[in-house]
A and B are shown apart, each in its own frame.
Chain A
Amino acid sequence: MEAVRLQAIALLGVVERNSYLVKRYGWWELAFFVWTVANTLTIVFIAEGVEAGGGRLDVERQTTILLIGAVIWSYLGIVFEILTETVAWERWEGTIEYTFMAPLSRAVHLLGMGAFAVIYGVLRTAALFAVVALFFGLDFPEANFATALLLLAVASISFVGLGMITAVLPLISPEKGAQLGFIAQGLLLVVSGVYYPVEVMPQWMEWLATISPATYALEGIRAAILDGASPGAVWGDLWPLLSLGILSIPLGLAVFRAGERYAKRHGKLKRAG
């Protein structure tokens, strides 16, 4: 019981430190948020652009589909970025050896980063969703936001597991590892139907879509917001998400531990840069 209490305090420490960093870099946070809004607008305007070019489509529905894709892209980016910072930021600050020689389990360390990433990611993407929806004057008369949040919460388990895998990359490649996280995020979303139905992709990409948690998150959240789907109605998306989540966390931890051992064997923890 005492061991559990100590690990819970350690987990709190990881979340607390990240919140201090958000506070200290407040203006940067605002700047990145503005950038994310601008980036999302460039995508969501596409629906109106197609109509202006003579295309026939339900603009409001298509705008919402694009908005959900952009918001999930942003959310996944936040989760991967924060988990990648487990190593990258601490290496840059030079604190990594102090954190890695502390008696907290690596699982608690990574789950602490994951917990913060989910809390922070949900708040930021909710703000992004609200700002862009207001901008386009979208209303969602059928929306079931509770189902959407449930899907996001379950999808987050898989996203955190995959983020743990990307978190190890800066340990293996101090110079380029963090950027590889963005590549992983892009590859995941391109096969997941982020702005288009997965059916338009070649068959081999469609197969990849079936093992990507983002596919089910996007499908389910679109059904919840556009058609007001209940949790029961999106069970076909929920169970694959749960299954992938159960697999991805142990996989993420195992990959991270292997990377940590590699770094300790080759003296790569101490390198700064």
Chain B
Amino acid sequence: MSAVQVFELRKEFSRRTAEGRTRIAALDSVSFTVARGECVAMLGQNGSGKSTLVRVLATLLLHDGGSAHVFGHDVAREERAVRRLVNRVSVEASFFKRLSAAENLAYAARFYGFAPAATRTRIPEILERVGFPVARAGAPMEDLSRGMQQKVALARALLTSPTLLLLDEPTTGLDPRSKREVQAFVMEVRRTHDTTTLLCTHDMTEAETLADRVGILERGRLLALEAPDELKRRYGTSSLEEAFLVATGRAFDDEEVA
């Protein structure tokens, strides 16, 4: 059984334009599978559909057509079963800013069945593993740096031992050191846990370093999904950035105007 099975997935949003309301496809007949234990990276510009894909798999959006399954469970019809298997780290380390890291993690952990006795030991352990100074676990989140907050976000996701980890630009905005630490931790989790990872990123190097296969999403369409070397070979280029340029016909930093 595939960890993720997406078939002809379609999601549209209604937008107000000068001509009136129009429907814009955020995901346009996207199909792919992710094998258990695999790490797949999706490359795409802002508005390409990466976050929409993650939200559909996380049961946060209802799709308009096609299907999406996580370990055989339909994301729309078996929400609760999917939610037990999935967790997510996104670009914003979203927390109750006045609460401490430990309080935020306890709140998240309760939803996954961790009673206070379990989190008293588990939270310091997981914070230590992500390289967060445990002595600061009681400090309000608003007093922590962005890199520290993102480590707590990783801890929140891993606390629940997700079988499918959705990483939505987890290192965007981090300084180089924090970025390397987060990436190293993602690699360690892959080595030590039975975790399947779907990584959405802007960062070509990150995709090449972490992923077994790399997909290119462009205006909601999945143009390719192959191993990094095969992707370069397919487009006759020496780098992923050039492959992206050839595949989409535009530079990576040439942002979509919303």
Q: Which residues of A contact B (CB under 8 A)?
A: 5-6, 9-10, 12-14, 16-17, 20-21, 24-25, 93-95, 97-105, 261, 264-267, 269-270
Q: Which of B42-101 contact A (CB under 8 A)?
A: 52, 55, 58-62, 80, 83-84, 86-88, 90, 92, 94-99
A21 vs B106: C-alpha distance in the bound complex, in angstroms?
13
Does B35 sit at the interface, judged by CB under 8 A? no
Question: Is B83 a contact of A9 with CB atoms below 8 Å?
Answer: no
A24 vs B141: C-alpha distance in the bound complex, in angstroms?
12
Does B181 sit at the interface, judged by CB under 8 A? no
Question: Is B99 a contact of A21 with CB atoms below 8 Å?
Answer: yes
Q: Which residue of A lies closest to B141 (CB)?
A: A93
Question: Is B94 a contact of A105 with CB atoms below 8 Å?
Answer: no
A55 vs B84: C-alpha distance in the bound complex, in angstroms?
66
Does B140 sit at the interface, judged by CB under 8 A? yes
**Partner of B62 from A13, A16, A264 at Cβ < 8 Å:** A264
**Partner of B94 from A10, A21, A95 at Cβ < 8 Å:** A95
Interface-lining segment among B110-118, B203-211, B215-223, B239-247: B110-118
A16 vs B119: C-alpha distance in the bound complex, in angstroms?
13
> Which secondary structure dominates chain B's binding surface?
mixed
**Partner of B58 from A9, A25, A101 at Cβ < 8 Å:** A101
Tell me how many residue pairs across A and B have CB atoms closer than 8 Å.
Answer: 95
Question: Is A102 a contact of B112 with CB atoms below 8 Å?
Answer: yes
When A21-B96, A21-B99, A103-B84 are in contact, do A98 and B108 touch as well, CB less than 8 Å?
A: yes
When A102-B108, A105-B80 are in contact, do A93 and B94 touch as well, CB less than 8 Å?
A: yes
Q: Which residue of A lies closest to B13 (CB)?
A: A267
> B3-20 toward A: CB 8 Å interface, digit per residue (1/0)?
000000000011000000
Q: Which residues of A contact B52 (CB under 8 A)?
A: 267
A93 vs B94: C-alpha distance in the bound complex, in angstroms?
7
Does B103 sit at the interface, judged by CB under 8 A? yes
Q: Which residues of B contact A14 (CB under 8 A)?
A: 110
Question: Is A97 a contact of B106 with CB atoms below 8 Å?
Answer: no
Q: Which residues of B contact A93 (CB under 8 A)?
A: 94-97
Question: Is A100 a contact of B140 with CB atoms below 8 Å?
Answer: no
When A97-B94, A102-B83 are in contact, do A20 and B108 touch as well, CB less than 8 Å?
A: no
A93 vs B58: C-alpha distance in the bound complex, in angstroms?
19
Question: Is B80 a contact of A95 with CB atoms below 8 Å?
Answer: no
Q: Which residues of A contact B213 (CB under 8 A)?
A: none
> Which secondary structure dominates chain A's binding surface?
helix
Question: Is A9 a contact of B96 with CB atoms below 8 Å?
Answer: no
A95 vs B109: C-alpha distance in the bound complex, in angstroms?
14
Question: Is B112 a contact of A12 with CB atoms below 8 Å?
Answer: no
Question: Is A24 a contact of B98 with CB atoms below 8 Å?
Answer: yes
Q: Which residue of B lies closest to A265 (CB)?
A: B62
Q: Which residue of B lies closest to A89 (CB)?
A: B96
Q: Which residues of A contact B107 (CB under 8 A)?
A: 13, 16-17, 20
Question: Is B86 a contact of A101 with CB atoms below 8 Å?
Answer: yes
Q: Which residues of B contact A267 (CB under 8 A)?
A: 13, 52, 55, 61
**Partner of A101 from B83, B103, B113 at Cβ < 8 Å:** B83
When A17-B103, A94-B92 are in contact, do A103 and B98 touch as well, CB less than 8 Å?
A: no
A9 vs B112: C-alpha distance in the bound complex, in angstroms?
8
**Partner of B99 from A24, A100, A265, A270 at Cβ < 8 Å:** A24
A94 vs B141: C-alpha distance in the bound complex, in angstroms?
13
Question: Is B96 a contact of A98 with CB atoms below 8 Å?
Answer: no
Q: A21-B96, A104-B111, A264-B60 are in contact. List 13 more A-B contacts (CB 8 A).
A: A10-B110, A10-B113, A13-B106, A13-B111, A17-B107, A24-B140, A25-B98, A93-B96, A97-B58, A97-B88, A101-B87, A269-B60, A270-B55
Does B156 sit at the interface, judged by CB under 8 A? yes
Q: Which residues of B contact A21 (CB under 8 A)?
A: 96, 98-99
A25 vs B96: C-alpha distance in the bound complex, in angstroms?
12
Question: Is A16 a contact of B98 with CB atoms below 8 Å?
Answer: no
Question: Is A98 a contact of B80 with CB atoms below 8 Å?
Answer: no
A174 to chain B, nearest CB (A): 15
B26 to chain A, nearest CB (A): 8
Q: Which residues of A contact B84 (CB under 8 A)?
A: 103
